[in-house]
Copies of this chain bind each other. A is one copy, B any other.
C-alpha cells in the first residue's frame, strides 16, 4: 500500500512532516512518501523520506519563467510527481506533455482524476498510477467507504479496462485507518493524504494510526 502525504501549501513545516513519516516507516509495511511545495523539495528529500513533487509543468529545459521543471524537481530529490490534482488541473494535451517530461526526468507519476471516465482517460496516457478523487469527498469529512464506494471500484474497472499495468489510488475521503483499509478493499493500491497528517499536532501519531491497520 502506497501512502503519499501531500503537504500542499499548508502553514506547516514539510520537513517536520517528512521526519514524522521517517519515524513511522520502520513500523509499517506501507510505502510512505511526502509531497511538499517546490521550495521545500530539497530539504524534505534530505530527511531520507521518499519525496514527491506536487506538479511539474509540460516544458523542457529552456526559456520558461515561473514554471516547475521535471528535471529540477528530480535534481532536488523527487522520485515522482502528482499531476492534474484537483487543485492543479491540466489540459489533456499538457497533461500528456507533463507525463512525457516526467518520464524524461525519471519521475514516477500519479495522475489525479475525479470520475471513473477521467480515470480511464488518464490511464490511457500511460502514468504509473491514477488517483481517483471523487469531488464529493474532496476536503470533506465523509469517508470514501461510506460516500459512494462504487466510485473507487468503478475507477479500478475503468483503469483496468484501459491498461492493467496502471495502479489505482484513492485520492480523497481518507482520514482514518479504517478508510485506508476500506480503500484497499475497494481495490486501491494506495492513498493520498493531506490535512489529516500535514495539519495534525502530532503528524507521526496521525500517520501511525492511519497505517496501523495495514
Contacts and interface: CB of A to CB of B under 8 A. Distances in A.
Contact of A63 (B64, B115, B118, B194): B194
A190 to B, nearest CB: 17
Number of copies: 4
A30 interface: no
B88 A89 contact: no
Contact of A65 (B41, B65, B85, B93): B85
Interface in A138-178: 139, 158, 161-162
B91 A90 contact: yes
Interface stretch (A20-28, A66-74, A202-210): A66-74
A43 B42 CA distance: 9
A35 to B, nearest CB: 8
Nearest to A81: B66
Given A68-B39, A72-B37, A124-B121, A61 B11 contact: yes
* Chain A interface size, under 10 / 10 to 19 / 20 to 34 / 35 or more: 35 or more
A136 interface: no
Contacts of A33: none
Nearest to A135: B93
A38 B90 contact: no
B10 A61 contact: yes
A61 B14 CA distance: 13
A17 to B, nearest CB: 14
A109 to B, nearest CB: 13
A126 interface: yes
Contacts of A54: 65-67
Nearest to A94: B89
Interface of A: 6, 8-11, 37-43, 53-55, 59, 61-69, 71-73, 75-76, 82, 84-96, 113-115, 117-118, 120-126, 139, 158, 161-162, 194-195
3 nearest A-B pairs in the assembled complex, by CB-CB distance = A55-B66, A66-B88, A120-B124
